[in-house]
Amino acid sequence: MNLWLWILVACGLAYFTKLSGYFVPAKLLRSPRMMRVAGTMTIGLLASLTVVNAVASGQALAFDARLGALAAGAIALWLRAPFLVVVIVGSAAAACLRLLGWH
Amino acid sequence: MKLRESPAVKVGLSISIATGLYGVSFGALASASGFTFWQTMTFSLFMFSGGSQFAFIGVVAGGGSGVAAMTAAALLGLRNGIYGMQMNALLRPKGWLKYPQAHITIDESTATASGQSSPDERRRGFWTAGIGIFVLWNIFTAVGALAGDALGDPKQWGLDGAAVAAFLGLLWPRLKGREPWAIAAAAALATVIAVPFVPAGVPILVAAVVAGAIGWFSHGRSDEGMEPDVDPYAHGHAEPGGQESRESSAE
């Protein structure tokens, strides 16, 4: 139930963020600092989420089959594969490495 | 039928299919991370912002608390507020129209609209991409959640590897040039250093602060990191015009 609460709060905040944009005076757009912070924060968060999902295991760092998924995903992206293919390649790489005994 | 000749509608429809389909991966990952079918659908129906949805389930899957997950999702959604300002200036919605329009204000609808030059085309592009993605994203989230439920042990299928690749895939289009790479590297480093010292989920927030500070104190492009997850103009549209027109929309 606790998790439901945070899900609903997060959904509310997501909508409020979008809607607030429609009520903020356009003047604010001329000060590009807010835009930049929103943009660089997006990059930082996505980079961090990538790393956490690749090497964090609770509060420890672990080097396992997920690193293979990271490498395979990067190669797929570099070859300009579409998003869904990238995700499938990452999944397949981790599954194959586990079959080969690298957990 | 005029609509079929509209370039904005064509772009909107193709981006809807490209983006909508990857709702499958969100649905599958959410169910593999232990979210129920209706929790998963709540994300896609009411949060409706891919990056934030992946962030929430990613933090919980890594053992983070609900608060940390909520915070990461909210921070990642901040750019939608900027998009809202841009779309308000560009499309000037009247009265109640703002409320549904706000809900479908995301990377792709904003990019589709700001890539067009005439006001009518911008409006058509925004609504086509926004509604199209909303419908398909929800249908495919449901497909992914139901299929994911049937898969059994998620690790056996490498679904944790799928999450890694998904986040990298969301990050990738934003890494154009040296500065975004430097920001990503700084955030990654901050994360690795923080992991052993703070509870799960918090390293992501530490990285957000680092990246936000870089944005606050440096003077790069003002639309750094605001690229859509899937570029609507990637394939053969006249100008990859998102950037220019987004900048001019600020005037």
* pLDDT per position as a tens digit, B2-32: 666 788 999 999 999 989 998 999 999 999 9
Helix (H) or strand (E) holding B87: helix B78-91
Alpha-carbon distance values, B224 to A37, B211, B218 (Å): 9, 11, 11
For the segment A70-76, the average pLDDT, to the nearest whole number, is: 98
Q: Which residues pair with A61 in a beta bridge?
A: A56
User: Given this model, what pLDDT does residue B129 score?
Assistant: 96
Q: How many CB atoms lie within 10 A of CB B178?
A: 9
User: Given this model, what pLDDT does residue A1 score?
Assistant: 59
Cross-chain residue pair B103–A59, CB shorter than 8 Å? no
Q: Quote the pTM value.
A: 0.88
User: Given this model, what pLDDT does residue B226 score?
Assistant: 86
Q: Concatenated DSSP letters for B140-167?
A: HHHHHHHHHHHH--TTTTTHHHHHHHHH
Residue B186 has pLDDT above 90, yes or no: yes
Percent of residues, chain B, with pLDDT higher than 90: 75
For the segment B119-131, the average pLDDT, to the nearest whole number, is: 95
In angstroms, the first-to-last Cα distance of chain A is 33
Which tens digit of pLDDT belongs to each residue from B41-78?
999 999 999 999 999 999 999 999 999 999 999 999 99
d(CA B188, CA B122): 37
B-proximal residues of A, 53-82, CB under 8 Å: 53-56, 58-61, 65-66, 68-70, 72-74, 76-77, 82
What's CA A90's distance to the chain center, in Å?
Answer: 14
Burial group, residue B118, by CB count within 10 angstroms (0-12, 13-18, 19+)? exposed
Strands A56-57 and A60-61: antiparallel
Which tens digit of pLDDT belongs to each residue from B187-243?
999 999 999 999 999 999 999 999 999 999 988 888 888 888 888 887 544 444 444
B-proximal residues of A, 30-49, CB under 8 Å: 30, 32-49
In angstroms, the first-to-last Cα distance of chain B is 34
Contact A23, B210 (CB under 8 A): no
Partners of B203 on chain A (C-beta within 8 Å) are 48, 52, 56
Q: How many CB atoms lie within 10 A of CB A101?
A: 7
d(CA B20, CA A103): 32
Number of CB pairs, chain A paired with chain B, less than 8 A apart: 352
